[in-house]
Amino acid sequence: MARLKFCPYCGSAVPTGKPCPCRGGRKRKQTAGDATRGAREPWRAHYKTAEYQRNRQAAISAQAGRCKDCGTICATFSGGKWTTSGMGGEVDHEVPLCEGGTDEPENLALRCKRCHSRIETKRRIARKSRM
C-alpha cells in the first residue's frame, strides 16, 4: 500500500510522490510584468533548448526525483519523462551561470522549493556583500 500525505491546500490524502488533483489545471493569472519578462531575464530563453532539457532530465533521474538536500520527493516520472509540475521541485545550478557555471548534469541539482529558496537567499547575501 502506498504511503499517504496530506495536501496543504485542500487537506485530502494523496499518495506520496503524486500531485493532488485539487492543484491540477489551475494556473496563475497573467500580469503586466509577464509581457516584459523575457527582456528583463534573457537567460531564461536557453531553458527551452533541447540540450538543457536533456541535462535536466539526467540530473533529476540521477537523484530519483528527490531533493538533493532534504530528500523530499519533488518530481514524478510519468509518460517517459520526469516532471516537477505540482510537486514543488526546482532544478538548480550548483555553480550559477552568472558565475561561470554550465548546464551539464553534474552542475544541476533537483531541490524542493524550501531548500532552493534557502540556497538562493545565501547566494544573494553573498553577492551583495561582494559589491
Residue 100 maps to which CATH number?
3.40.1800.10
Q: How far is it, in rounded angstroms, from Cα 124 to Cα 118? A: 10
Asked if residue 39 belongs to a domain, the reply is no
Asked if residue 34 belongs to a domain, the reply is no
Asked if residue 42 belongs to a domain, the reply is no
Residue 48 has pLDDT above 60, yes or no: yes
Percent of the chain with pLDDT over 90: 44
Amino acid type, 103 = D
Q: Which alpha helices (DSSP H) does 1-131 contain, by range?
A: 37-40, 50-62, 113-130
In the numeric block, the cell 550559477 is attached to 96
The residue with greater pLDDT, 2 or 50, is 50
Asked if residue 118 belongs to a domain, the reply is yes
- Predicted local confidence at residue 110, as pLDDT: 96
- How far from chain centre, in Å, is Cα 56? 10
Q: How many domains does the chain have?
A: 1
Range(s) of the domain holding residue 123: 4-19+48-130
Asked if residue 82 belongs to a domain, the reply is yes
Which of 117, 121, 123, 125 lies closest to 101, judged by CA? Answer: 123
pLDDT tens figures, 75-124: 999 889 999 877 889 999 999 887 888 999 999 999 999 999 999 999 98
The residue with greater pLDDT, 75 or 15, is 75
Residue 36 has pLDDT above 90, yes or no: no
Averaged confidence pLDDT in the chain: 86
Asked if residue 36 belongs to a domain, the reply is no
CB 112 within 8 A of CB 120: no
Asked if residue 89 belongs to a domain, the reply is yes
Asked if residue 28 belongs to a domain, the reply is no
pLDDT tens figures, 60-71: 999 999 999 999
| Distances, alpha carbon 98 to alpha carbons 36, 103, 118, in Å | 21, 12, 18
